[in-house]
Structure 1
C-alpha cells in the first residue's frame, strides 16, 4: 500500500511501516572459534556487510576467522512475531494472545467434555455476520458449488457442526448485540452533541487543558485496530472516541451476565467464543476493561478468525456447501437471528445516527453523499429542504484515509496531533481563523474502520478462491473485486423485523454496562536505544 507524500504526521511506526522496535532476532550463523582474549571487550564476534546489490552478509571477526561471508536471508515477520513485539502491544498482551487460537478452543472443549456433570462449563459461540458472508462467498465461488449460499444458510450449517461435532451448547450471531450497540451509540452521540451545544453557547469550547470537554466530532469505537492505534500513537484523539462497547464486547456482556442469569450460571461457568473477521479482535477481548475480577473471567474467553474456523472445518471434514436438514426452517434461539439493517456492512454506525435524526426531525431532511478521493472516504450531509445543514458526518476506512481524518479533527478542534491528550495547537487561533473563513457546518461524527473496505475485508477473512477477476492463486489481501463479492453476499440475509420491545425492556432493566473507556499508552521504545 502506498501513501501520499503529503502525509507528514507523527511517528507512524508499525501501523504503517515497521518501527525501530520491529526487529526480529536472527541466529548468528557463522560462529568463529576464537579465544575470548583475542577479541576486544565489547566487540561483536561478527559483523554485517552489504554488497553493491544490497545483499547482506555475515562476516566473522578476529583471529582465525574465514575471509568469506554467509549471505543472510531476508527476515520474515509473521503475525506471532508482531504480537510478541513491544512496538505495537505490551508484553502482557502478547502473553494473552497466545491463548487466542482455535487450538485453545478445541483443547478446552475436549477437557470440558471429560469433566463431571456439575463441573462442566456451558460453551457458547457467537459469529459475526461478516464472517458468515466471507464463508458463504468462499463456498459459492468454489468449483463444487453452482448456487449462491446465503449467510443464513451458512449460519444454520455451522450451528449443526458446532453443536454436534464440537459440543457447543449455543450458537448465536452477533447482530442483536450490534443493534444494542447502535442504540447506545446513538444515545451517546446525542449526549455529546448536547454538551457541545452548551459549551458553544457558554463560549468555552475546547478550552479545558485536560481534554474532557472535547465532545465532537465523535469517532466510532467498534474497530480495535483503530483503538489500539489511537491509544499508542494519538492519545489526543481519545476524548473524541465513543465509549460504547463494540458488538463483540456487548455480546460478551449479554452472554456472561444476562444469559448466565437465565441459565442459573455464574460468568465463570460459561466459556464464550467469538468468531470475528479481524485479528485485532483478539486484542480487544484481552483488554483489562473486559475482565471480571470477581469471577476471574473475561466477557469473551477466546476469539478466532474466519480463517481459523475454516481450518477447524477442514480438519473435521465438514463441508459447508452440503445442506443440512431443516436449515431453512424457523429456528428459535434465545436471541433474534441475523437482524437486517441499512447502511454499511461494517455496522452502520453513521447510518444509525442519520436514521435517528431523520425520524426525530420536525422538518423533512434530505441526505446527500459526496465521495472524497475514493469509496473508502465519503461525507454525508443532512439538510432541511432548501435550508441549512443540520448534520454532517463521514465514513473513513483504511489508514490511508485515517491519517487525513486525524489531521482534520486536530485542526478543527485545536488539538496538537501526536502530542498526547493534553496537547494544544493554539486552539483559540485556529478557531478564530475557522470563523473568519466561515467554514460552515463541521463534521460531527466519523465512522472509522482500520481496514480498507471495512469489516468484510478484515485481515482474518477468507482469501479469494475460485475463478473471477481475482484469479486462482497468489491473491493479495484486500483484493477489491473479492471484497465486493463478499459485500454483495453480506446483504443476502437479514430480516427487517422490529426488535421485540419486551426483550429490549428486559435487557434495559438489567442495567448491563454497555460502555467502556480508553487510555493513552506511553511507548517504552526509545529509537536511539534500539540495538541493531
Structure 2
C-alpha cells in the first residue's frame, strides 16, 4: 500500500515528502538490563533481512548470543499525540485501521454472547472512484448506484455484513447542523468566518500548526462521524442493539478518516465503543474484492431498480461540490432567508481549487455574504493568512498563535469572509489519498502499444492526476435522486434521538465535537519529548 508524505508549514506544495521531524521516537519495549559498572557496551547490528540485533562489540565470542530486537510500531493514538510534525495519517504505520483488521474481525465474529452486528457505510466519493475505474474497463458506463448494489451483495453474501449503507443521509443531516451552527454564530457575533470541519487532514493541520484558527472551525461532526452516531445511537434502537453490540466499518476516500475515527471525542465511554470501529479506504475495499475473487464489473440482480426498503435513503443528491457542498448549503440558506433577492457571483482566485462566492442584493449590489472554496494546502495556507489578517489574529506556528484583537482597518472598504469550505486534498474529496489510482496507459510516449505490466512500469498511475479526477467527478454527479423524503425521515430521527427536543446539550452530544491545540517542542530539526 502506498502512503503519501507529511506536511510542513514552510513547504507550499500540495504533494510533499516527509520531514525529519516526523520521525517519532518510540518507547523501547524490550530494554536490556541496566548496565553494571565496568560492563561492556552494546551495539546494534542489522542482518541482510533487515532484522535488528543487539550485540557486545568487546568480545563477541564470550558474550551472550545476539538478541533480536522487536520492531517498533506506531499506533493511531501515538500519531494523534505526536507534536513533532504535521503528519497525514497516510504516513503512519496503522495497526488497527486496515482491511486486514476487518477481515480478521469478520472471521472471528461467531454467533454468541460476543457477537456484533457488522454494518458497513460507504462514502459517495468512494462509489464514484470505483464506478470510474469500472467504466474505464468496460464499454458501458457504470454508475455509483450500480456499484453500491454490487458492493452490498458482495459484503452481505461473501463477507457476512448485515447492513450496507451509503453516507449521503448522514451528510444531509450534517449539512442541516452546519447551517444551524452558522446561524448561531451570526446571531451571537461568534467567531467568523466559519471554516468547514469535515476534513480531518485540515483539522489535524490546524490543531498542530494554527491553534489560533481553531475558534473559527465549525464544531459540526463530519458525515462519517454523523453516520457513526446514526448507526450506533439511532439505527441500533431499530435493530434492538446497544452501541457496543454493533461493529461499524466505514469506507472512505481518505486515509485521514482513520485518524478522525480514532479521536477520543468519538468514543462512547459508557459502552466502551467508538462511533466508527474501523475505517478502510477505497483502495483497501478494492483489495478485499480482489482477495475474495469478486468481479465488481459483473452486474447483480436488481441493480437498476428503485431502492429497496431500507432504514435510510439511498444516494441522496445535492447541488454544489463533490466534497459535500458545505459552502453551497450555506449560500442556499442565506438566499432563502434573505428578505430581498440576492445575486450570486463566483470569482476564481488562483485556480479552480480557490474560488470566492459573493452574494449581493439585487437592488443596490451591496455584499451580504462572502464565502470561499479552498482545496489543497497550497491554497489553504493563503486562506489561513487571509483570515488572520481580516480578523486580527496573529498567525503563528503550533500553539504559539493567539488572538491579538480584531483588525478594523479596511473593514469598511472590503467585506471579510463569512464562510470557507476547506479540504486538504487538491480537487477535493474525489481526489482523496485513499482513492483508486488511474488505470495505467497501454501506450508509450510515442503512441505505440506497450505491455507495461511485463516491464514493471505503470504509466500515469499516480494520485492527483487531474484528468482522472475529472472522470471521478463526472461519475459522482451521474447519480439521480430516487427514494424517500429525507426531511420527513430527518424529523423522525431527531424525535427518536431527542424525545424532549434537540436542546443545546443534546445537540453538542450527538452532532458536534471539539478541537484542541497540540503543543510542539520542535527546535529546528530536533524533536524534544
Whether these two folds match at TM > 0.5 is yes
Shift in Å, 1:526: 4.2
| Cα distance in 2 for residues equivalent to 1:83 and 1:425 | 29
| Cα distance in 1 for residues equivalent to 2:156 and 2:147 | 14
SS of the residue corresponding to residue 339 of structure 2 reads coil
Give yes or no for contact 2:393–2:403 (8 Å, CA) kept in 1: yes
Shift in Å, 1:517: 0.5
Shift in Å, 1:22: 2.7
| Cα distance in 2 for residues equivalent to 1:364 and 1:350 | 19
| Cα distance in 2 for residues equivalent to 1:191 and 1:389 | 20
| Cα distance in 1 for residues equivalent to 2:369 and 2:292 | 51
| Cα distance in 2 for residues equivalent to 1:470 and 1:403 | 38
Shift in Å, 1:89: 7.6
Shift in Å, 1:106: 0.5
**C-alpha RMSD over aligned residues:** 3.6
Shift in Å, 1:18: 3.2
Shift in Å, 1:401: 0.1
SS of the residue corresponding to residue 368 of structure 1 reads strand
Matched, 1:138 2:115: no
Matched, 1:517 2:514: yes
Equivalent residue in structure 1 for 2:430, among 452, 456, 466: 456
| Cα distance in 2 for residues equivalent to 1:288 and 1:233 | 20
Provide the residue aligned with 1:21 in structure 2.
21
Shift in Å, 1:170: 0.3
Provide the residue aligned with 1:115 in structure 2.
111
Provide the residue aligned with 2:163 in structure 1.
170
**Per-residue Cα deviation, 1:31-60 (whole angstroms, up to 9, x for no partner):** xxxxxxxxxx999999xxxxxxxxxxxxxx
Matched, 1:99 2:80: no
Give yes or no for contact 1:238–1:421 (8 Å, CA) kept in 2: no
Give yes or no for contact 1:130–1:456 (8 Å, CA) kept in 2: yes
Shift in Å, 1:418: 1.6
Matched, 1:415 2:393: yes
- 1:358-437 residue pairs with structure 2 within 5 A? 358-385=335-362, 386-418=364-396, 423-424=401-402, 426-427=404-405, 430-431=407-408, 433-435=409-411
Q: Which runs of 5+ in 2 are unaligned?
A: 1-7, 26-39, 46-56, 59-72, 446-457, 499-505
**Per-residue Cα deviation, 1:342-389 (whole angstroms, up to 9, x for no partner):** 000000000001111111222111110000110000000011114211
Matched, 1:191 2:184: yes
SS of the residue corresponding to residue 274 of structure 1 reads strand
Give yes or no for contact 1:232–1:520 (8 Å, CA) kept in 2: yes
Q: Residues 427, 344 of structure 1: CA spacing in aligned structure 2 closer, same or farther, 3 A cutoff?
A: same
Q: Residues 421, 139 of structure 1: CA spacing in aligned structure 2 closer, same or farther, 3 A cutoff?
A: same
Shift in Å, 1:193: 1.1
Provide the residue aligned with 1:53 in structure 2.
none
Shift in Å, 1:172: 0.3
| Cα distance in 2 for residues equivalent to 1:97 and 1:217 | 34
Matched, 1:161 2:154: yes
Provide the residue aligned with 2:200 in structure 1.
224
SS of the residue corresponding to residue 295 of structure 1 reads coil
Provide the residue aligned with 1:489 in structure 2.
475
SS of the residue corresponding to residue 21 of structure 2 reads coil
Give yes or no for contact 2:251–2:279 (8 Å, CA) kept in 1: yes
Q: Residues 320, 13 of structure 1: CA spacing in aligned structure 2 closer, same or farther, 3 A cutoff?
A: closer
| Cα distance in 1 for residues equivalent to 2:281 and 2:262 | 15
SS of the residue corresponding to residue 134 of structure 1 reads helix
Provide the residue aligned with 1:348 in structure 2.
325
| Cα distance in 1 for residues equivalent to 2:271 and 2:76 | 31
- 1:23-422 residue pairs with structure 2 within 5 A? 23=23, 86=82, 87-88=84-85, 97-112=94-109, 114-116=110-112, 118-142=113-137, 145-196=138-189, 215-330=191-306, 331-385=308-362, 386-418=364-396
Give yes or no for contact 2:207–2:398 (8 Å, CA) kept in 1: no
Report the count of equivalent residues: 459
| Cα distance in 1 for residues equivalent to 2:188 and 2:133 | 46
SS of the residue corresponding to residue 356 of structure 1 reads helix
Give yes or no for contact 2:12–2:377 (8 Å, CA) kept in 1: no
Higher mean C-alpha deviation, range 363-372 or range 458-467: 458-467
| Cα distance in 1 for residues equivalent to 2:393 and 2:16 | 22
Give yes or no for contact 2:211–2:401 (8 Å, CA) kept in 1: no
Give yes or no for contact 2:211–2:398 (8 Å, CA) kept in 1: yes
| Cα distance in 1 for residues equivalent to 2:16 and 2:266 | 28
SS of the residue corresponding to residue 434 of structure 1 reads coil
Q: Residues 327, 225 of structure 1: CA spacing in aligned structure 2 closer, same or farther, 3 A cutoff?
A: same
**Per-residue Cα deviation, 1:178-197 (whole angstroms, up to 9, x for no partner):** 0000000000001111122x
Give yes or no for contact 2:252–2:279 (8 Å, CA) kept in 1: yes
| Cα distance in 2 for residues equivalent to 1:442 and 1:150 | 40
Shift in Å, 1:393: 0.1
Q: Residues 19, 161 of structure 1: CA spacing in aligned structure 2 closer, same or farther, 3 A cutoff?
A: same
Give yes or no for contact 2:13–2:377 (8 Å, CA) kept in 1: no
